[in-house]
Amino acid sequence: MLEALDIGKSFGEVSALNNVSLQLKSHKVHALLGENGAGKSTLVKCLMGYYRPDSGQILFNQKEVVIDSPQRASHLGLGMVYQHFTLIPNMTIAENIVLSRPNLPLIIDWQKEIESLQTKMTNMPFQIDLHRPVRELAVGEKQKVEITKQLLLDTKLLILDEPTSVLTPTEADEVLGKIHQLARNQQLTVLMITHKFREVMQYADQVTVLRKGRFVATATVSEVNPQILSDMMVGGESLSKPPTRTLQSARIIKLRTENLTVHNDQDFAVIKNMDLEVAQGEIVGIAGVSGNGQKQLVEALAGQRPPHMGTIFAHDKKFCADLNTITRHKFFCLPEEPLKNACVGTLSVAENLVLRKFNRPPFSRWGMLRRGVIRRNAEALIQQYRVRTSGPEQPIAALSGGNVQRVVLARELAQEVSILVVANPCFGLDFKAVADIRAQLLAARNQGAAILLISEDLDEILELSDRFYVISAGQLVYQTTPAQADMNTIGQYMAGH
């Protein structure tokens, strides 16, 4: 159906793609694998007309085509769900979907459009309330909307950039199962970028591996296994080993909420009377399906959303998240969608790495920024956290998704941490980076940090937490430890039963 031949693409000094070729067969699911920064997103953006390749050819049904804009791609029946969300927050889901239709009439008959969406909705993998504004949705929900949008727009070749990173395993199976089925029924061809071998093995027919901007191999999935795939991806480099857990001598509560109630933008209580404690040297997990208040809880703890009622205590003092208090308490936070919530996209990697401390020595003196110190700080962290970038001066928005995540983690974990709030810290990271980050979090715990880990990835919660809660409809409905966890019970609480 589609063939890319010898595609090359550079951004200034960075060569993102080097003679990469890819062949997509009709009605198959094709997986694209590679480390963070390998060039996966760049390749699919070239196919979508979002970037113009510097060299190479694209053939569509064996004829050469020039895809010079996303409109052109969409006329060919190509549609994509991007790694960063593209929905307009202040519009409802229905408005977002209607407005992304190509050939939209000059005057929109909204009632007719919405009725037609509603009818088509019955065949969709997810049932979504079309009238909700997008800004209220958590990442997992947005992902479902993005996928549903493409299916509703009659896309024939669907490109998915890490579609399941924020879905629970059950949700992921539901989406991929449905997509796989559409391919089997000859209704859809799929190119899917993923970091999860399980998804490749279970749902893909073919797989292509990229490494550092170069083509490594294309294989038939039934002829490979995860070990072969990971060797192709990293060429035999070894993984970080997690440190063993050390025991804490005394239980000292570092982070506590009392009767915390947080409202969403519509003034609805989405966190309800929450009492929570995290002690020194403890990782407390909060598991749950996205959209159960996790987003607003993190915002409240990060000082981005004032609580409606109740109090947050850090080291037994009432906490309010201004820069000085944060610094004094060594209270750090990694929110979800870090590029949006924790970075300034147009600033450089080096500047983003000192966002919380540029005004203090050694980064500034007598009110002046010390560029050299800021740059050297960045160079050290880039190396330590293996960030793939053309250099400290590169704007952070130009980094690959996984590399943005690494920069933010490097910033938050680079100093002594006393309290750490992290939301989905491994979202979009390749398996090697996941091992790195998890090892870092455990090391911070062993050094006495109190860590609140909010994650939609149950495996991550089970691996990292000392004890964990399940959140449902804004309340902590269940508490257990990984050793005692019973998956059935947890599943039921997660589903709100």
Q: Which stretch binds Mg ion (CB under 5 A): 96-104, 306-314, 318-326, 394-402?
A: 394-402
Which residues 335-394 are close enough to bind ligand ATP by CB under 6 A?
Answer: 388-389
- The listed partner (ligand ATP, Mg ion, none) that binds 110, CB under 5 to 8 Å by sort, is none
Rounded CA separation 146/462 (Å): 29
Count other C-beta atoms under 10 Å from residue 64's C-beta: 10
Decide if residue 39 touches ligand ATP (CB under 6 A): yes
Decide if residue 41 touches ligand ATP (CB under 6 A): yes
Tell me which residue has tokens 């239709």.
Answer: 101
Closest CA to 211 of 481, 16, 366, 2: 16
Compare residues 41 and 165 and give the one whose CB is closer to Mg ion.
Answer: 41
Site string for ligand ATP, 78-107 (x = CB under 6 A): -----x------------------------
Single-letter amino acid code for the residue at 425: P
Please check whether residue 117 is in contact with residue 152, taking contact to mean a CB–CB distance below 8 angstroms: yes
Residue 195 per-residue DSSP state: S
Count other C-beta atoms under 10 Å from residue 484's C-beta: 8
Alpha helices in 185-301 (DSSP H): 197-203, 226-234, 294-301
Site string for Mg ion, 347-386 (x = CB under 5 A): ----------------------------------------
Rounded CA separation 268/223 (Å): 52
The beta strands (E) that lie in 264-402 are given as 269-279, 282-287, 309-314, 317-318, 331-334, 364-365, 368-369
Decide if residue 140 touches ligand ATP (CB under 6 A): no
Query: H or E segment at 167?
Result: none
Among 5, 6, 14, 370, which residue sits at the site for ligand ATP (rule: CB under 6 A)? 14
Please check whether residue 48 is in contact with residue 73, taking contact to mean a CB–CB distance below 8 angstroms: yes
Q: Which stretch binds ligand ATP (CB under 6 A): 11-19, 165-173, 233-241, 250-258?
A: 11-19
Taking CB positions, which residue lies at the least distance from ligand ATP? Answer: 402
Closest separation in Å from C-beta 37 to Mg ion? 8
Closest separation in Å from C-beta 395 to ligand ATP? 8
Site size toward Mg ion (CB under 5 A) is: 4
Decide if residue 398 touches ligand ATP (CB under 6 A): yes
Which residues 17-46 are close enough to bind Mg ion by CB under 5 A?
Answer: 41
Decide if residue 213 touches Mg ion (CB under 5 A): no
Decide if residue 42 touches ligand ATP (CB under 6 A): yes
Decide if residue 163 touches Mg ion (CB under 5 A): no
Site string for ligand ATP, 405-434 (x = CB under 6 A): -------------------------x----
Closest CA to 304 of 321, 317, 327: 321
- Convert 82-109 into a string of H (helix), E (strand) and C (coil): CCCCCCCCCCEHHHHHHHCCCCCCCCCC
Decide if residue 401 touches Mg ion (CB under 5 A): yes
- The listed partner (ligand ATP, Mg ion, none) that binds 37, CB under 5 to 8 Å by sort, is ligand ATP
Among 92, 352, 400, 465, which residue sits at the site for ligand ATP (rule: CB under 6 A)? 400
Closest separation in Å from C-beta 455 to ligand ATP? 19
Please check whether residue 455 is in contact with residue 283, taking contact to mean a CB–CB distance below 8 angstroms: no
Please check whether residue 370 is in contact with residue 410, taking contact to mean a CB–CB distance below 8 angstroms: no
455 Cβ neighbours under 8 A, 6+ residues apart: 285, 286, 287, 422, 423, 424, 425, 461
- The listed partner (Mg ion, ligand ATP, none) that binds 163, CB under 5 to 8 Å by sort, is none
Among 36, 155, 168, 208, which residue sits at the site for ligand ATP (rule: CB under 6 A)? 36
Rounded CA separation 412/326 (Å): 12
453 Cβ neighbours under 8 A, 6+ residues apart: 283, 284, 285, 286, 422, 425, 441, 460, 461, 464, 465, 468
Decide if residue 403 touches ligand ATP (CB under 6 A): yes
Closest separation in Å from C-beta 39 to ligand ATP? 4
Compare residues 41 and 143 and give the one whose CB is closer to Mg ion.
Answer: 41
Site string for Mg ion, 70-109 (x = CB under 5 A): -------------x--------------------------
> Which residues contact Mg ion (rule: CB under 5 A)?
41, 83, 400-401
> Which residues contact ligand ATP (rule: CB under 6 A)?
11, 14, 16, 34, 36-42, 83, 388-389, 398-403, 430
